[in-house]
Amino acid sequence: MAEIIDGKATSLAIKDEIAEKVKQIVNDGGKVPHLAAVLVGDDGASQTYVNGKVKACEYVGFKSSLLKFDSDIPEEDLLEVVDKLNNEDDIDGYIVQLPLPKHISPQKVIERIKPEKDVDGFHPVNVGRMVLGLPAYISATPFGILKLLERYKIDTEGKECVIIGRSDIVGTPMSNLLSRKTYPGNCTVTLCHSRTKDIKSLSRNADIVIAALGMPEFLTGDMVKDGAVVIDVGVTRVPDATKKRGYALKGDVKFDEVAEKASYITPVPGGVGPMTIASLLYNTLMASQKAIYS
């Protein structure tokens, strides 16, 4: 039976470390880190995420600013907001919550963000620097997974790692990070996707499996080997009348079956999810210390 990788507890431990660091900075007369979040429209999930980020800022002692705009804000106006945030010295880092309304190009917005303030790590400069192994902001989910592997002292060197899903924000950066010549890393990575012929034959030989394709309970017990480390990135809302909110959160892993065979496994909820906010706070702390771009 697998040991559960507790993302909630790990995230809390990281937040406490960040809070401690903020106290030290303030005691030494330094600047309180300041994160801003831009929210466009009234998407329920986005509001929940952004509120969580603001609350987390309060917890660690950061300043936070929430900038809300109607869903019909013209693209040009949003780009001006981005320009203002780029030039506002008190703001160390900021995020523009995605998805954006259809008439706004997320790529245009992301490319307008100053890389030094891009604590989401979405700007091509940060992605490129990450690929080259240069100091960079690494986006929240891959960074959270690295931190979990590190804190649970999972051996990664020389291991076969299968990643299922090639999204820009999880699968692709994850494949890069785990093949880097460092810890956690030095894995032999196979990146599977919708055109992969036989995922099962690959995942069954993997020491580490990262499921990030967004298909509830895709990874079943027969797809993993005994002792594998399994990281579940999926969070799909599946209708469930027995739940007060009308849905249940399902991961990409059939938890009970896979937990029987794995050595470590992340649950959903309470695994990778809570780590993303800790990653964002960490990046903001780095931004305030000018630790990535000096």
- In the list 10, 11, 64, 97, the residue contacting ligand GUN (rule: CB under 6 A) is 97
Of residues 124 through 143, those in contact with ligand GUN by CB under 6 A are 140
Residue 66, interface with ligand GUN (CB under 6 A)?
Answer: no
8 annotated active-site: no
Residue 98, interface with ligand GUN (CB under 6 A)?
Answer: yes
Backbone φ, ψ for residue 44 (5° rounding)? -60, -45
Catalytic residue among 6, 92, 120, 232: 120
Of residues 259 through 278, those in contact with ligand GUN by CB under 6 A are 276
Whole-angstrom distance, CA of residue 213 vs CA of residue 73: 32
Query: 22 vs 280, which CB is nearer to ligand GUN?
Result: 280
Catalytic residue among 53, 117, 147, 254: 53
Query: 78 vs 95, which CB is nearer to ligand GUN?
Result: 95
* Helix (H/G/I), strand (E/B), else coil: 153: coil
Residue 163, interface with ligand GUN (CB under 6 A)?
Answer: no
* Helix (H/G/I), strand (E/B), else coil: 211: strand
- In the list 116, 120, 207, 232, the residue contacting ligand GUN (rule: CB under 6 A) is 120
Amino acid letter at 60? V
Whole-angstrom distance, CA of residue 212 vs CA of residue 69: 31
Name which of 269, 53, 266, 68 is nearest 140 in CA terms: 53
Phi-psi region of 134 (alpha: psi -120 to 50; beta: other; left: phi over 0): beta
Sign of the C-alpha dihedral computed for residues 43, 252, 123 and 287 taken in this order: positive
200 annotated active-site: no
Exposed e or buried b per residue across 228-246, where buried means at least 16 C-beta atoms within 10 angstroms of its C-beta: bbbbbbbbeeeeeeeeeee
- In the list 5, 14, 78, 96, the residue contacting ligand GUN (rule: CB under 6 A) is 96
- In the list 18, 39, 40, 95, the residue contacting ligand GUN (rule: CB under 6 A) is 95
Please give the distance of CA 99 from its chain centroid, rounded to a whole number.
15
The least CB distance from residue 82 to ligand GUN, in Å, is 12
97 annotated active-site: yes
Residue 252, interface with ligand GUN (CB under 6 A)?
Answer: no
Q: Which residues does the annotation mark as catalytic?
A: 53, 97, 120
Which residues contact ligand GUN by CB under 6 A? 49, 95-98, 120, 140, 276
